[in-house]
């Protein structure tokens, strides 16, 4: 019997093929095969007051996917059974739905077409899925379509308005724009922040040739709040005149339980904080671990983790049993709880298990021998977190000491000693301190004399005052932004990597030296205009409710069209009003034009970035670069003079210099016009036609790549590229990169025979 198994990713084929017999042909759709058209909306919405309106979608075959579809349909014609096995999420469901539509054109018996899903690539999981085939989940398909329609409406309808009102090439996204707003709101809060002075006072006391340091907490039975240096000096003087004794010692214990096993968002946060991985890198490495990497047998990949896109911390009973056996064997019964520990998350879809190792028998040390450095690090993180979640809590002994003076001052200190390491034996993650600030003392680093007793007299060694200032809110890192997005219910963890990539690719944000998000002037302008004119789609609660409604559609609790109609009418009303407003959106500054002295300067956007220009244009053509200080105040900046570099021109040996031209910064010879050398950006790969250098060029303001030997060699690549080898054919040294109007990015292989494409 001939059977056809269709996967979403070609990376799984090798891993799964070892589980199945010769009867099976395994093929891949290589991601999505259809989508809404690129150059038109592709959505027709006809709302009805009676609730029986229609939503019609137009799907087109993606570029270079005709051959993929034809090959799969050819195999399906002669197959006795057809199993659709794209990923077990909404995107996977729509892929299964689309390929089923194509197969049904050539296969008369629809009963031969089955949908199967599995959360781990193991023989037992694959065999179990094949034994229990089902049908395509129409509710999941509806949920994916609803999300795609909403994203398309916002992306295609709003983006052109931004082009007219701010600058060409901009995009808006239903979730992307709200994430950007969080970053911009944080920046506004930082600019508005006014630091306040306060002082802390530490007292160091002598007890039997030992030292004990405690913090001042009370003055005359009131909370110690010292706002200035004068008060601090008065308190220090008062403290130096007092006599002190131990008023109370309270001993207690506290336990610290292990965190739940990873879900997508917590994995992204932990990998960022502990490994320094970006969200995108985490998902890319996790995908490899899920699809499988070769271990002892270099020809046979082995899947190492379960599906990495999940918001449920649920664990299969078989995995729990395996973890408990390992804990008992490796660490002893003292580390094993009396019963297994279960985890749940409120609001989780619970469609998949937590992200965990497929088998804890495959230790991090063993995997490290065969995996890449990044793969080994991420696998170890996942393995340790999973094993730890089934171990006993860590137990600390705590001692809180209160020191009282006869001058009305009270000092307190708490020390903590680890008595039983529990899960920390395997997985230690930094513990967040409540109200953490720069003078917070770590209880585990505080030493309290063991023989200290209540009513013991203490000698004052020294009093140390320290000045502090309240700190502005911290900017978001990728990890803290993921945490905030999840907390607010914005988007889904599987989309976070794309969100962060898009807001940087569109120059809406940049990263500072500490890898924290800073909104650009363009990002702030886009956020302000959207918040003012389309407040609903920029509202975090509205966006979160919409995500909940998408979940309801996937669960069959809401109809797709109900959500679309509820969104469409008010959105289009706001949009029409937004479209009707004439003129460019500009932020007018308080600075008067230095040239004409009649008009204010306004922030504008050009090809080389933001600048200020006179509102009297075209009569007055004054422009200037500018910068904002920490408080957001705009200051004019003189145009940078060309900067000489410590690098010689390869043609005349004179110094090169960095300059800013019409199309942005560039590097050229300081000997111009005698020497016309301009530094070019070279690709990492040679020209496929003549082996010459491939360099970045520009024509009419647009960048492209071309062979340096032009016009003898006419090889060229229009647009942007990603300089990575095609993961499918392994032949092409680059992927074409296209920014879509809805904010997504599509990567595709330039070889039409290969047909690889991926939208992020």
Residue 697 and residue 707 in contact, taking contact as beta carbons nearer than 8 Å: no
Ranges 142-151, 156-165, 425-434, 739-748, most confident: 142-151
We report the CATH number of the domain holding residue 120 as 3.40.50.140
- Do residue 125 and residue 26 come from a single domain? yes
3-class SS of residue 71? helix
- Do residue 100 and residue 208 come from a single domain? no
755: its two tokens: 């047909």
If 0-12 CB within 10 Å is exposed, 13-18 middle and 19+ buried, where does residue 671 land? middle
Q: How many structural domains comprise the chain?
A: 6
- Do residue 205 and residue 185 come from a single domain? no
Supply the pLDDT for residue 435. Answer: 41
Supply the pLDDT for residue 700. Answer: 55
How does pLDDT run across 483-517, given as a tens digit for each residue?
Answer: 999 999 998 888 898 899 889 888 899 998 889 99
Residue 211 and residue 177 in contact, taking contact as beta carbons nearer than 8 Å: no
- Do residue 498 and residue 450 come from a single domain? no
Q: Does 23 score more than 70 pLDDT?
A: yes
Q: What stretches of 649-742 adopt beta strand conformation (E)?
A: 655-661, 664-669, 682-686, 693-699, 702-707, 716-718, 720-722, 735-739
The CA angle 39-41-43, to the nearest 5 degrees, is: 145
- Do residue 610 and residue 730 come from a single domain? no
- With respect to residue 655, please indicate whether it lies within any of the assigned structural domains: no
For the segment 668-672, the average pLDDT, to the nearest whole number, is 89
Write the DSSP assignment of 529-573 as a string of letters.
HHHHH-TTTT-HHHHHHHHHHHHHHHTTSS-HHHHHHHHHHHHHH
110: its two tokens: 């629809």
How many CA atoms lie within 13 Å of 671's alpha carbon, on the beta-carbon side? 12
338 vs 663 pLDDT, higher one: 338
Residue 12 and residue 287 in contact, taking contact as beta carbons nearer than 8 Å: no
- With respect to residue 48, please indicate whether it lies within any of the assigned structural domains: yes
- With respect to residue 659, please indicate whether it lies within any of the assigned structural domains: no
Residue 701 backbone dihedrals phi, psi, to 5 degrees: 85, -5
Report which DSSP code applies to 352.
Answer: S
pLDDT level of residue 433 (50, 70, 90 thresholds)? very low
How does pLDDT run across 119-133, given as a tens digit for each residue?
Answer: 999 999 999 999 999
440 vs 405 pLDDT, higher one: 405
Residue 355 backbone dihedrals phi, psi, to 5 degrees: -80, 115
Q: Which residue, chain included where needed, has tokens 């009297």?
A: 616
To the nearest whole number, what is the mean pLDDT of the chain? 90
Domain hosting residue 410, numbered range: 197-257+394-469
Last residue of a domain, one of 439, 469, 499: 469
Supply the pLDDT for residue 116. Answer: 96
- Do residue 189 and residue 207 come from a single domain? no
Supply the pLDDT for residue 431. Answer: 61
Report the C-alpha gap between 471 and 670 in whole angstroms.
45
Residue 305 backbone dihedrals phi, psi, to 5 degrees: -135, 165
- With respect to residue 434, please indicate whether it lies within any of the assigned structural domains: yes
- With respect to residue 658, please indicate whether it lies within any of the assigned structural domains: no
For the segment 468-492, the average pLDDT, to the nearest whole number, is 94
Last residue of a domain, one of 469, 496, 519: 469
Note if 307 is an active site residue: yes
- With respect to residue 565, please indicate whether it lies within any of the assigned structural domains: yes
Supply the pLDDT for residue 669. Answer: 92
Ranges 203-207, 583-587, 680-684, 732-736, most confident: 203-207
Measure Cα distances from 722 to 81, 554, 573, 745 in Å. Answer: 39, 34, 39, 11
Supply the pLDDT for residue 436. Answer: 43
Closest CA to 279 of 311, 303, 308: 308
Cis peptide before 492 (omega within 30 of 0): no
Closest CA to 527 of 600, 587, 437: 587
Percentage above 90 pLDDT, the chain? 68
Supply the pLDDT for residue 570. Answer: 92
If 0-12 CB within 10 Å is exposed, 13-18 middle and 19+ buried, where does residue 286 land? buried
The CA angle 41-46-49, to the nearest 5 degrees, is: 150
Find all residues with CB under 8 Å of 408, minimum gap 6, and list them.
218, 219, 220, 221, 238
- Do residue 41 and residue 113 come from a single domain? yes
- With respect to residue 464, please indicate whether it lies within any of the assigned structural domains: yes
For the segment 266-290, the average pLDDT, to the nearest whole number, is 94
Report the C-alpha gap between 719 and 702 in whole angstroms.
8
How does pLDDT run across 389-425, given as a tens digit for each residue?
Answer: 999 999 999 999 999 999 999 999 999 999 999 999 9
82: its two tokens: 């057809």
Report which DSSP code applies to 334.
Answer: G
Residue 752 and residue 760 in contact, taking contact as beta carbons nearer than 8 Å: no
- With respect to residue 545, please indicate whether it lies within any of the assigned structural domains: yes
**Catalytic annotation, pick one of 83, 156, 307, 427:** 307
Closest CA to 7 of 118, 108, 111, 90: 118
Neighbours of 338 (CB within 10 A): 5
- Do residue 183 and residue 238 come from a single domain? no
How does pLDDT run across 519-533, given as a tens digit for each residue?
Answer: 999 999 999 999 999
We report the CATH number of the domain holding residue 438 as 2.70.20.10
Supply the pLDDT for residue 742. Answer: 58
- Do residue 186 and residue 93 come from a single domain? no
- Do residue 63 and residue 79 come from a single domain? yes
Last residue of a domain, one of 469, 488, 516: 469
Supply the pLDDT for residue 32. Answer: 94
pLDDT level of residue 247 (50, 70, 90 thresholds)? very high
For the segment 457-486, the average pLDDT, to the nearest whole number, is 95
Q: Does 372 score more than 60 pLDDT?
A: yes
Closest CA to 286 of 301, 303, 261: 303
We report the CATH number of the domain holding residue 529 as 1.10.460.10
Q: How many residues does the chain have?
A: 760
Q: Does 552 score more than 90 pLDDT?
A: yes
How does pLDDT run across 698-738, given as a tens digit for each residue?
Answer: 765 567 899 988 888 989 998 888 888 888 888 889 999 88
Q: Does 437 score more than 60 pLDDT?
A: no
- Do residue 70 and residue 119 come from a single domain? yes
Write the DSSP assignment of 73-136 as a string of letters.
HHHHHT-SEEEEE--SSHHHHHHHHHHHHHHTTT-S-GGGEEE---SS-SHHHHHHHHHS-B--
If 0-12 CB within 10 Å is exposed, 13-18 middle and 19+ buried, where does residue 20 land? middle
- Do residue 572 and residue 610 come from a single domain? no
């Amino acid at each position: 019997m001939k059977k056809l198994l269709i996967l979403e990713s070609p990376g799984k084929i090798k891993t799964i093929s070892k589980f199945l017999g010769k009867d099976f042909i395994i093929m891949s759709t290589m991601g999505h095969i259809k989508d809404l058209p690129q150059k038109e909306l592709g959505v027709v919405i006809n709302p009805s007051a009676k609730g029986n309106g229609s939503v019609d979608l137009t799907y087109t075959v993606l570029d270079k996917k005709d051959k993929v579809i034809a090959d799969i349909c050819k195999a399906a014609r002669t197959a006795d059974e057809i199993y659709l096995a794209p990923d077990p999420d909404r995107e996977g469901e729509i892929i299964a739905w689309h390929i089923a539509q194509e197969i049904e054109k050539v296969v008369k018996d629809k009963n031969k077409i089955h949908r199967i899903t599995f959360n781990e690539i193991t023989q037992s999981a694959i065999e179990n899925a094949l034994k229990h085939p089902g049908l395509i989940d129409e509710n999941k398909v509806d949920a994916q379509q609803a999300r795609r329609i909403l994203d398309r409406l916002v992306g295609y309808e709003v983006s052109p308005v931004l082009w007219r009102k701010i600058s060409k090439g901009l995009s808006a996204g239903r979730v992307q724009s709200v994430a950007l707003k969080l970053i911009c709101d944080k920046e506004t809060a930082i600019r508005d922040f006014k630091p306040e002075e306060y002082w802390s006072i530490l007292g160091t006391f002598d007890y039997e040739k030992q030292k004990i340091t405690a913090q001042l907490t009370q003055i005359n039975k009131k909370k110690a709040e010292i706002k200035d240096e004068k008060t601090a000096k008065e308190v220090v003087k008062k403290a130096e005149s007092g006599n002190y004794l131990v008023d109370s010692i309270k001993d207690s214990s506290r336990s610290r339980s292990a965190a739940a096993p990873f879900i997508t968002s917590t994995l992204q946060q932990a990998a960022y904080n502990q490994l320094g991985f970006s969200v995108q890198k985490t998902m890319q490495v996790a995908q490899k671990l899920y699809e499988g990497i070769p271990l002892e047998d270099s020809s046979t990949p082995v899947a190492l983790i379960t599906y990495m896109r999940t918001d449920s911390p649920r664990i299969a009973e078989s995995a729990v049993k395996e973890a408990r056996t390992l804990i008992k064997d490796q660490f002893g019964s003292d580390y094993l709880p009396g019963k297994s520990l279960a985890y749940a998350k409120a609001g989780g879809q619970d469609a998949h298990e937590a992200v965990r190792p497929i088998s804890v028998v495959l230790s991090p040390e063993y995997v490290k021998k065969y995996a890449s450095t990044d793969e080994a690090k991420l696998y170890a993180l996942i393995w340790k977190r999973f094993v730890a979640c089934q171990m006993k809590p860590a137990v600390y002994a705590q001692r809180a000491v209160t020191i009282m003076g006869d001058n009305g001052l009270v000092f307190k200190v708490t020390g903590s000693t680890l008595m039983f390491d529990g899960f920390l034996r395997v997985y230690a993650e930094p513990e967040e301190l409540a109200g953490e600030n720069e003078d917070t003392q770590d209880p585990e680093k505080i030493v309290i004399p063991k023989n200290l007793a209540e009513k013991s007299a203490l000698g004052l060694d020294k009093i140390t005052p320290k000045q502090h200032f309240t700190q502005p809110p911290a900017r978001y890192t990728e990890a803290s932004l993921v945490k905030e997005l999840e907390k607010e219910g914005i988007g889904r963890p599987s989309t976070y990597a794309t969100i962060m990539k898009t807001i940087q690719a569109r120059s809406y944000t940049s990263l500072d030296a500490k890898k924290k998000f800073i909104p650009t002037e363009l990002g702030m302008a886009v956020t302000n205009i959207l918040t003012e004119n389309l407040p609903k789609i920029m509202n975090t609660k509205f966006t979160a409710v919409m995500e909940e409604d998408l979940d309801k559609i996937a669960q069959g609790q809401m109809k797709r069209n109900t959500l679309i109609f509820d969104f469409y009418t008010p959105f289009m009303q706001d949009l029409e009003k937004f479209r009707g407003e004439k003129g460019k959106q500009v932020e007018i500054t308080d600075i008067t034009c230095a040239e004409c002295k009649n008009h204010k300067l306004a922030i504008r956007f050009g090809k080389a970035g933001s600048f200020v220009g006179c509102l009297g244009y075209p009569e007055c053509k004054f422009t200037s670069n500018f910068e904002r200080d920490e408080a957001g105040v705009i200051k004019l900046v003189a145009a940078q003079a060309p900067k000489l570099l410590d690098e010689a021109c390869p043609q005349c040996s004179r110094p090169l210099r960095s300059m800013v031209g019409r199309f942005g910064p560039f590097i050229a010879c300081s000997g111009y016009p005698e020497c016309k050398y301009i530094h070019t950006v070279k690709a990492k790969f040679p020209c496929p036609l003549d082996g010459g250098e491939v360099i970045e060029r520009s024509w009419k303001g647009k960048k492209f790549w071309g062979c340096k030997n032009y016009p003898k060699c006419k090889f060229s690549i229009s647009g942007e590229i990603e300089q990575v080898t095609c993961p499918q054919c392994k032949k092409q040294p680059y992927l074409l990169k296209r920014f879509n109007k809805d904010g997504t990015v599509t990567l595709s292989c330039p070889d039409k025979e290969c047909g690889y494409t991926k939208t992020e």
